[in-house]
C-alpha cells in the first residue's frame, strides 16, 4: 500500500513518513528525524522539540487513527506537503495536511500537522494528552475551555 502511495504521490519524498504511520513505529519516525526536529500541530499549544519527544508524540498519534489514507503529495525543494484523511474515535472523520521540511542531509527538521475540523482537533488533543501524560507535559496540548 505504501509503495502504491509513493507512485500516486509523485515520488518518495515523504515515503518514510507514510511508512512510520503505517507501522505506528516510534523507531520509524526517529530514523527520519534530525536531532533537533520541531513539531508544530493544531493540537499543540507549543511545539514539541527533539527526536525522542517528537517520535513519542507521533507514535502515540498514529495509534489513535482507525484508518489513515494519504491522498496527495507535492514537493517543492526541501518541503513536502502530504494531504490525508483519517477516522478515529468510532468513525469520526478527520482531514488534514502535513508539511515536512528537510535539512541538507535529508532528515526532517520540521513537521507541521494541521487537523480539521475543530471538534476532531479538540478530541485528538485530549486523547493524545491523556495517553502521553507520563512522557510529554500536558501544557503542550490544547484544552477545550467552555
Q: Write out the three cell numbers for 65.
A: 487513527
The whole-angstrom separation of Cα 89 and Cα 30 is: 26
Q: Cβ neighbours of residue 121 under 8 Å, at least 6 residues apart? A: 42, 43, 115, 142
* CA quadruple 8, 11, 14, 20: dihedral sign: positive
* CA quadruple 121, 29, 80, 62: dihedral sign: negative
pTM confidence score: 0.84
pLDDT of residue 19: 72
Architecture of domain 2-140: Roll (3.10)
Q: What is the pLDDT along the chain (146 residues), one digit of tens a residue?
A: 344 344 334 445 577 677 767 776 677 778 889 999 999 999 999 999 999 999 999 999 999 999 999 999 999 999 999 999 999 999 999 999 999 999 999 899 999 999 999 999 999 999 999 999 989 888 888 876 65
Domain boundaries, the chain: 2-140
Q: Per-residue DSSP letters for 34-62?
A: EEEEEEEETTBSS-EESHHHHHHHHHHHH
pLDDT of residue 3: 40
pLDDT of residue 1: 35
Amino acid at each position: 500500500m505504501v509503495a502504491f502511495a509513493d507512485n500516486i504521490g509523485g515520488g518518495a519524498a515523504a515515503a518514510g513518513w507514510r511508512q512510520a504511520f503505517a507501522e505506528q513505529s516510534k523507531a520509524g519516525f526517529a530514523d527520519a528525524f534530525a536531532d533537533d526536529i520541531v513539531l508544530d500541530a493544531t493540537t499543540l499549544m507549543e511545539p514539541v522539540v527533539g527526536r525522542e519527544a517528537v517520535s513519542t508524540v507521533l507514535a502515540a498519534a498514529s495509534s489513535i487513527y482507525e484508518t489513515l489514507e494519504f491522498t496527495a503529495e507535492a514537493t517543492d525543494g526541501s518541503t513536502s506537503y502530504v494531504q490525508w484523511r483519517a477516522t478515529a474515535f468510532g468513525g469520526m472523520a478527520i482531514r488534514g495536511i502535513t508539511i515536512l521540511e528537510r535539512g541538507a542531509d535529508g532528515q526532517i527538521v520540521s513537521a507541521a500537522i494541521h487537523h480539521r475540523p475543530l471538534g476532531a482537533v479538540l478530541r485528538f488533543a485530549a486523547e493524545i494528552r491523556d495517553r502521553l501524560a507520563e512522557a510529554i507535559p500536558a501544557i503542550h496540548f490544547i484544552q477545550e475551555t467552555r
